[in-house]
Structure 1
Amino acid sequence: MKKFLTNARTSDEVTEREIKHRKLARDAAGESIVLLKNDGSLPVKPCPVALYGAGAATTIKGGTGSGEVNERYSVTIEQGLKNAGFTITTDPWLREYEKLLKTEKTAANKALAKKLLSSSPDDRINIMANGFQYPAGRPVTDTDIQGSKSEICIYVIARQSGECSDRRLEKNDFTLTDTEIDNLKLAASSYKKTFVIINTAGPMDMTPLEKIDGINAIIFFCQQGMEGGNALADIVTGKVTPSGCLTSTWPVKYEDLPNAMEYSYLKNHTDFEEYKEGIYVGYRYFDSFRVTPYYEFGYGLSYNNFTVEYISTFVDKTKITVKAKVTNSWGAFSGKKCVQLYVSVPNGKLQREFKSLAAFAKTGLLAPEQSQELTLDFDITDLAGYDEQNASFILEQGKYVLHLGESSRNTKIVSVLTLESSVVTEVCTNVCKVDRDLKEIKPEIIPINIPDGIQSYPVSPADIKTRKHEYNIPKPVLSRKTEEILDTLDIDDMIKVVVATGMTDAAPHFCVPGAAANTTSHLVEKGVPNAALCDGPAGLRIQRRSVRLKNGVIKPVEAMMEFMAYMPWFFRKLIFGNPKKGTALYQYTSAFPVGTALAQTWNTQLVEQTGIAVGTEMTEYGVTFLLAPGMNIQRNPLCGRNYEYYSEDPLLTGKMAAASTRGVQSFNGCYVTIKHYAANNQETNRHRSNSVINERALREIYLKGFRIAVEEAGAKAVMTSYNKLNGIYTPNNFDLCTKLLRCEWDFDGVVMTDWYATNKGLAGNGLSIKAGNDLICPGGSYNCKELKNDLEAGIFNLEDLRLSCSRVLEAVINGRTGKSSL
């Protein structure tokens, strides 16, 4: 009998670590919730409340797919309000809704389970593409209102989204249903106060709410993980003052977005996606084209008024430092405030966006009338634009206007930087050549009127150095152990190293139940254990309850994804174990707010703390690769996976990813895997769609966040995406995997594919290794066979294989299991 090693616990008791991480999850959720509207009715003291809506008793804590987490329990909005002392007076409506949801979810999950049985490659990649939405529930009636005996109503609008399919414009997704509108009209006219809570992954069409009198407050709850209900109650009662700010622009109507009706399925095909907006994504578009948003980027209200006073600008060669004083100037509550700094860059050879985020900072908790001085700094070279013609990043001569404020639309010009002559900051090479003629939209240039008295600060061109990149493939720095083991491996051994062992590996040397994949265990006798790769955009996703059977095999006791519980009996018997026939194993992890919500804190220190928490859990259970953070740009609010991603802005995205990376990788042998690299901005047909992007937009918008996470935080792994980029599948793209990552950004880690991305008819296995994509995931015998065939056909060579093998070996040997399981 083989007894697999595992760090899973045999006790079901709540640990101190769980308690500590629950507090952190609650703090993070409280700081990320965004107050969108308030006429002074909030906060309120605990009292009887009429609670309705899809997200009230069945709150959506996160998206579906890899972003799911199997925590011990989650707190719904209903439970959170009860915990805070509120009396919920609409129990009949809520219990009816729970029954309705259960019935509709069961039908949807059965259909999903049936689809999986077809076992086609496309179905495996797109297993979560069911498009299920929470029903609105039955109409609220006068009888409900009279029976509630409450003066306050809280109505929770909820929408689910996730992997494999994009959100819909229909009335049960991006817009409100007729039932929701009628319910809100009745509630607003019947109760003294009505608060609307939006439990979605991102923007919705808010215009129907404008026509309803009597809505006193609107809160963007987003999706807040396991402590969301308690965090909302903290906000509603004033225990926590709202300080979250939006990280994407909310349009007045969907059609206000650039190329809105050409996104994803809306153009009647998903074969390709043309990024005609170029660099004008999100607020860059709204500001540059003078389109008024419903809520602008960076927007968020508080229960207090804060004043932001500009103090000074200081130039130290290329480093720019702006100081501001923030005062909690009016109100009875202590609170935090985010300050944002934008820069308008001069137009010249390159036409630039009206302004872009350059830095941000957040205060600590300020008592009424208390002040804090904030420092916002950036390097002027970070403002360089990309000149495709000369394959160079350039800063052009002219005035760089600094705007300080509270959101993209609420700023004041505070100072000006002047550059006397244009400078090349980086000499690159052209990459990812566009495979068709792509005509981008261009705005009219908006003149900037600089007020009298604004001081100018010269930046000397001589202080700006030019970095020239070389494109020789760097050889990895290997430990002596890695070199010694590498020299003993034959071709079959190396192929096994670069191919993971599949999602159903029954014999890992070290077992983390619920791991998405493992690296090979066949080199254990040589001193190389397997490494576990686990999902984790909103927290570490592993199996909550398992059983070690008498024969040593470890099997799950419960479904890790909901639909699996609806598989046929023979499948469940094969997959699941009987807890009465072995030793029970437990792995309770923490469900933190989703990526969008974490970014809405605008607090990199807090995000780093959540990274430390995830790293703690990785260490506890022996996980080496966290398959997170997700950091694609929120190009369009319909993207089904936006909840995993931070923002429409590349700087904010990169800074948040870097913070998370620092936290996770503060533990020796724990690695993040930044994903999905690159231009994976739609979910529908994601494994066949071709993202068509000009190089400038690619570098300035879609790659910049990845670069920040690599250069500033040293991310140790990267996951390529499913899609093609300008006609080439990303795992097969040498420009992405080697020229940019390794030659320009000095990345020295492992590049892996997304799951099943090299299935038949998709990205090539041998081409992936040739490009510098080191690890095929989730792997299996098919991929090993394909690599052997491709090696014999000369698609890649032994040197390519050895290079990828060495990178994977080095990571595994120095990884979590490499240090503890032999």
Structure 2
Amino acid sequence: MKKKKMSKKKFRIVWSSILSVLLVIIVAANVALAQFSDVISAYFSTIDLESAEAVEARQKSEGIVEQIADEGIILLQNNDNTLPIQTSEDNKAKVNVFGWSFTEPIYGGTGSGSADASKAVTPKAGLENAGFEINEHLYKAYVDTGIERPIVGMDGQDWSIPEPKPSEFYTSELMQQAKDFSDVAIIFIARSGGEGADLPRSMDGPDTFDPNGGAFGPTGQKFGYEDDLDASKHYLQLSNREQGMIDAVTENFDNVILVVNSANTFELGWVEEYEEIKSILNVAGPGQNGFNSLGKVLSGEVNPSGRTVDIYTKDLLDPPAMINFGDFDYVIENADGSYAQAFDSSNVPLKYVDYSEGIYVGYRFYETAAELGVINYEEKVQYPFGYGLSYTNFEQEVVANSLNWTDSEVTVDVKVTNTGAVEGKEVVQLYFSAPYTGKIERSSIDLIAFEKTDIIKPGESETVTLTFNVEDMAAYDANKEYSNSGSYVLEAGEYKLMLMNNSHDKIADVGSKNLSEVVYDTTGRSTDEQIAINQFDDEVTGEGSISTYLSRANGFENLTELNKNEVYTVTTEDGTTKEVLGKLVDSEFVNFINGIRYDVPADTHDSAPTTGADNGKKLEDYVGVDINDESWNQLLDQLTVKELAELATLGGYRTIEVESVGKPATLDYDGPAAINNMNMAANGQSGTAFPSEIMIAATWNLELAEAMGEHIGAEAKAYGVSGWYAPGINVHRTAFAGRNFEYYSEDGFLSGKMAAAVTKGFQNQGGYVYIKHFALNDQETNRTFGVLTWSNEQAIREVYLKPFEIAVKEGGAKAVMSSFNSIGNKWAGADDGLLKEILRKEWGFNGHVITDFYMNGGGLNAYPYMNVELAVRNGNDLMLTGAAPMGVPEINTDSNDTLWALRDAAHNILYTIANSSAIDGGLSTDMPQWVVITIIVDILLALVIATAFYFVFRNSRKRDEINIDLV
């Protein structure tokens, strides 16, 4: 083998180059680590789940979880008093449970509203804890199918209905064994929901099962058991295999109990065909230990007192809202006469959804249509809104002479007597009926007040007092029939009050009164800080908007006119064609949308605000100081331009530390069912999994809702978390919305009362809530395209903003999360009418507004219509940038208007923090452990490289050449 000699110069060059490259790599790695420090810190950070305070908080939470489930389970049917099933420790009741989902039920939902259910009580354990003996042979047969419910995270759903094939599974031997075991059969059916996609309306459509999935897209999976799925059936109907199971069970058992484990209303009209199905229970996602309550309800240890929060129609595709729910495109005509989808200048497809049903959402349509004789109620509706049964009987009566109806307030006492044989709780519901003049749309009936009793023993009574403001019966005159600018109006005529079992069944007329016309256009309502006027005329009118809204005039005769969407065959960029449902627009409309989404107005301020002053103020000096106090200016003057920009743009799951004013860093976590977020999930950590919001609402118990908020607040405090991305209070516009599980109801009033109670409870612990998603984010389809959501201001205010209004005015919410979608033609996160005029000036909100997940900067352009400058200028203070620096926008700090807007945003954020417990105990500023490790590694590598350089140059001086082997 030959040897070749290398000169000392070449030796020096080769090795110094190698060492230099290593040095560059190390420096680059450190730069990258610095850039991604937020993400890394979030991933590796942990909260102390085992501290004494945290353990105590979780133990207390579990008790509230079970109380909510006790009262949130709804008994929908109980023929022949089949339930409860008596059991005891000495005499366990044997039951067969059919349905694969009993082995893997739904505890909540997916996405930001999900919670860790890994330690949850299973339905099997819940029944066994209540004294039932489960048919283990049958249970094992389901387990032995090998089916497992897929784990779905933030970015997907699972629409599979994994039942075994009836002809192969329900053999004569299996059914005989079950009959020999017990004459009682329970059928368990489950349905899930999740963030990012709405529930399928075809169980064999092209978008139903996508094994690859996509970000926040349907990722339903097949397991070989869905070969006979029916494309004509939707997800909230029985699948063909479930139908086969129902047939097999009812052919062999006369006492069948149906348990529906679903937050979305399930289609149940088919039950009328099976006299063997005696009882029906609805169990929405019950959280960590809520299935204990199912066992207790079945055994009679707990008397069910839940009530429906949505109307159950026999055909879930029947409600008027379903006409315009889903995927709709704006279409433009090409020069050659062909059609193409319309895109904005950032290549975002222009999608829309029409709320053409107006105020007639849920029970408001069906009760009104029934009163007008337009529909046969019994043919259309399975269970009314506010419906639920009990194991006992109650009598409700208005206490004589208790109705006190003044010009401003109405109060009435209702005596509730338990006339049955077991103790229980009852819900008292008060509705009103307003006159219909034809000028403003009015439902024939609206919920106006409710209360839930304590436990009432047989033969005993409790009197509850119902109270509301007369002005709460006012409608919003968006069409300016009574004023020049729009206003709330009490039209002249007779107003009636009814004590109801639910939205359809009346107990008694409470009273009525002829009211004179009151237009709240000069003084406003007593709860408003600013007189309410139209704020969305520019957003919801003009090209692209709705021309016809549903009206009750002449018996809803215009119902057939609502669907103006057409089918277009469009050509895509790759030359292929597809059919879309949509409307035809021109290029001027597209340009108009581009201008609204992306054009930042020229500055109106001649000078920039003061920054970087040395006034010696600290945020702790402003605890309890009114937000409008001029002394805030001294504090705000101290903020530097860099601090103003970073405070607004680095808002993902936290607010940052601001040294100049002594503001501590804080943690803000998801979500409606638990203290939870990305770093907790990454480390297998989560707070207590509470029931889904729909189950909380089903309790109709505001004390329980407040207790839930308090206990989640106590957990947050124990974990060092200040802000909570919750409660979710969008409206159940249809049964198919993917996130119905994390919203309360189809009724804005019930939703608002629940949200206000939860808000008060949480904030009593020192934290602050982010009520979300503000506003009209009532479907998941196309939400991240800024879907143009068209409605009229009456429906916007009376239905969709109502929950937020109550949560602010009565709950005192300190923070708000805006939504992805647009209201009409303007992104909700940059709508000054929504965020400034209504939220702040009209409702009196003091606090800050954060966007939904923000990814528009730092190399990412996921949601380009979420323009940071338009956001801060129009009242959106904080960007939820969850993957810093990816997604963090650069903001134009050369603009005076933008700097003033950032100053306002900082004011709002600082005010929130100053009035929370974070001001006393913000996050630790200690250096994260991974940073310490990185510094140590850097020092060691630097020493190694420096030493290597030393030896390279020293050796090259000692000799002229060295030998190396050439192989």
Q: Does the TM-score normalized on the shorter chain lie above 0.5?
A: yes
Partner of 1:300: 388
**Partners in 2 of 1:360 and 1:545 — Cα distance?**
38
Task: Specify the code of the residue in structure 1 equivalent to 2:499.
Answer: L
CA contact (8 A) 2:430 2:497 kept: yes
Taking structure 1 as reference, are residues 99 and 755 closer, same or farther at Cα in structure 2, changes over 3 Å only? farther
**Partners in 2 of 1:618 and 1:42 — Cα distance?**
39
**Partners in 2 of 1:446 and 1:29 — Cα distance?**
40
CA contact (8 A) 1:478 1:810 kept: no
**Partners in 2 of 1:492 and 1:622 — Cα distance?**
27
Partner of residue 810 from structure 1, selected from 902, 905, 911: 911
CA contact (8 A) 1:629 1:657 kept: yes
The 3-state SS of whatever aligns with 1:29 is helix
Alignment of 1:179-578 (within 5 A): 179-265=241-327, 271-290=351-370, 291=375, 292=377, 293-311=381-399, 312-330=402-420, 332-348=421-437, 349-388=439-478, 389=480, 390=483, 391-411=486-506, 412-424=508-520, 425-426=524-525, 427-433=531-537, 434-435=540-541, 436-444=545-553, 477=627, 485-500=635-650, 502=652, 517-521=653-657, 523-524=658-659, 527-542=662-677, 556-558=682-684
CA contact (8 A) 1:131 1:165 kept: no
CA contact (8 A) 1:539 1:591 kept: yes
CA contact (8 A) 1:320 1:377 kept: yes
**Partners in 2 of 1:478 and 1:532 — Cα distance?**
26
CA contact (8 A) 2:97 2:138 kept: no
For residues 647-706 of structure 1, what are the alpha-carbon distances to aligned partners after superposition, in whole Å with 9 as ceiling and x for unaligned? 1111111100000011001122x0011111000010011122111011111111111111
The alignment status of 1:142 with 2:172, answered yes or no, reads: yes
CA contact (8 A) 1:224 1:592 kept: yes
Partner of 2:229: none
Partner of 1:725: 823
**Partners in 1 of 2:513 and 2:186 — Cα distance?**
49
Taking structure 1 as reference, are residues 95 and 226 closer, same or farther at Cα in structure 2, changes over 3 Å only? farther
CA contact (8 A) 2:384 2:503 kept: yes
Partner of 2:775: 678
Task: Give how far 1:787 is off.
Answer: 1.4
Task: Give how far 1:93 is off.
Answer: 4.3
Report the TM-score when normalising by structure 1. 0.83
CA contact (8 A) 2:356 2:546 kept: no
Partner of residue 34 from structure 1, selected from 64, 74, 77: 74
CA contact (8 A) 2:651 2:878 kept: no
Task: Specify the code of the residue in structure 2 equivalent to 1:519.
Answer: T
CA contact (8 A) 1:650 1:702 kept: yes
Task: Give how far 1:369 is off.
Answer: 1.2
Task: Give how far 1:588 is off.
Answer: 5.3
Task: Give how far 1:754 is off.
Answer: 0.4
In the alignment, structure 1 segments of 5+ residues that lack a partner are 113-126, 448-474, 503-516, 547-555, 559-586
For residues 21-78 of structure 1, what are the alpha-carbon distances to aligned partners after superposition, in whole Å with 9 as ceiling and x for unaligned? 2121111101011001101110002311111214312121101011112367111111
CA contact (8 A) 1:35 1:219 kept: yes
Task: Give how far 1:619 is off.
Answer: 0.8
Report the TM-score when normalising by structure 2. 0.71
Percent identity over the alignment is 33
CA contact (8 A) 1:51 1:90 kept: no
Taking structure 1 as reference, are residues 192 and 437 closer, same or farther at Cα in structure 2, changes over 3 Å only? closer
CA contact (8 A) 1:769 1:804 kept: yes
For residues 715-762 of structure 1, what are the alpha-carbon distances to aligned partners after superposition, in whole Å with 9 as ceiling and x for unaligned? 000100110110111001111110000110010011010012654422
**Partners in 2 of 1:128 and 1:760 — Cα distance?**
16
**Partners in 2 of 1:362 and 1:740 — Cα distance?**
32
**Partners in 1 of 2:686 and 2:117 — Cα distance?**
5
Task: Give how far 1:259 is off.
Answer: 4.1
Taking structure 1 as reference, are residues 158 and 783 closer, same or farther at Cα in structure 2, changes over 3 Å only? closer
Taking structure 1 as reference, are residues 38 and 755 closer, same or farther at Cα in structure 2, changes over 3 Å only? same
Taking structure 1 as reference, are residues 313 and 98 closer, same or farther at Cα in structure 2, changes over 3 Å only? farther
Aligned pairs, number: 719
The alignment status of 1:767 with 2:875, answered yes or no, reads: no
Task: Specify the code of the residue in structure 2 equivalent to 1:407.
Answer: N
CA contact (8 A) 2:788 2:823 kept: yes
For residues 62-105 of structure 1, what are the alpha-carbon distances to aligned partners after superposition, in whole Å with 9 as ceiling and x for unaligned? 01011112367111111101112211114454564476432x62
Partner of residue 853 from structure 2, selected from 751, 755, 758: 755
Task: Specify the code of the residue in structure 1 equivalent to 2:57.
Answer: R
Query: Please, which moves more after superposition, 76-85 or 164-173?
Result: 164-173
CA contact (8 A) 1:679 1:725 kept: yes
Query: Please, which moves more after superposition, 696-705 or 751-760?
Result: 751-760
**Partners in 2 of 1:131 and 1:803 — Cα distance?**
43
**Partners in 1 of 2:487 and 2:496 — Cα distance?**
23
**Partners in 2 of 1:172 and 1:99 — Cα distance?**
25
Task: Specify the code of the residue in structure 2 equivalent to 1:684.
Answer: T
Taking structure 1 as reference, are residues 676 and 544 closer, same or farther at Cα in structure 2, changes over 3 Å only? closer
Partner of residue 96 from structure 2, selected from 50, 59, 63: 50
The alignment status of 1:23 with 2:63, answered yes or no, reads: yes
Task: Specify the code of the residue in structure 2 equivalent to 1:764.
Answer: N
Partner of 1:737: 835
The alignment status of 1:620 with 2:724, answered yes or no, reads: no
The 3-state SS of whatever aligns with 1:360 is strand
For residues 476-518 of structure 1, what are the alpha-carbon distances to aligned partners after superposition, in whole Å with 9 as ceiling and x for unaligned? 717899755532222111110112254xxxxxxxxxxxxxx22
Task: Give how far 1:784 is off.
Answer: 5.0
**Partners in 1 of 2:806 and 2:387 — Cα distance?**
24
Query: Please, which moves more after superposition, 707-716 or 138-147?
Result: 138-147
**Partners in 2 of 1:354 and 1:538 — Cα distance?**
34
CA contact (8 A) 2:321 2:361 kept: no
CA contact (8 A) 2:477 2:488 kept: yes
Partner of 2:135: 89
Taking structure 1 as reference, are residues 767 and 90 closer, same or farther at Cα in structure 2, changes over 3 Å only? same
**Partners in 1 of 2:630 and 2:50 — Cα distance?**
37
CA contact (8 A) 1:71 1:589 kept: no
CA contact (8 A) 2:639 2:661 kept: no
Task: Specify the code of the residue in structure 2 equivalent to 1:310.
Answer: V
Task: Specify the code of the residue in structure 1 equivalent to 2:502.
Answer: S
Query: Please, which moves more after superposition, 628-637 or 167-176?
Result: 167-176
Taking structure 1 as reference, are residues 261 and 277 closer, same or farther at Cα in structure 2, changes over 3 Å only? closer
The 3-state SS of whatever aligns with 1:743 is helix
**Partners in 2 of 1:259 and 1:542 — Cα distance?**
33
The 3-state SS of whatever aligns with 1:609 is helix
Partner of residue 109 from structure 2, selected from 57, 63, 70: 63
Taking structure 1 as reference, are residues 375 and 182 closer, same or farther at Cα in structure 2, changes over 3 Å only? same
CA contact (8 A) 1:544 1:588 kept: no
In the alignment, structure 2 segments of 5+ residues that lack a partner are 1-33, 88-92, 204-232, 331-340, 342-349, 526-530, 557-624, 857-861, 925-967
The structure having more radius of gyration, on CA atoms, is: 2
**Partners in 2 of 1:538 and 1:754 — Cα distance?**
17
**Partners in 2 of 1:241 and 1:719 — Cα distance?**
38
CA contact (8 A) 2:638 2:660 kept: no
For residues 556-605 of structure 1, what are the alpha-carbon distances to aligned partners after superposition, in whole Å with 9 as ceiling and x for unaligned? 444xxxxxxxxxxxxxxxxxxxxxxxxxxxx5521111111101111101
CA contact (8 A) 1:31 1:601 kept: yes
Taking structure 1 as reference, are residues 694 and 215 closer, same or farther at Cα in structure 2, changes over 3 Å only? same
**Partners in 2 of 1:816 and 1:754 — Cα distance?**
24
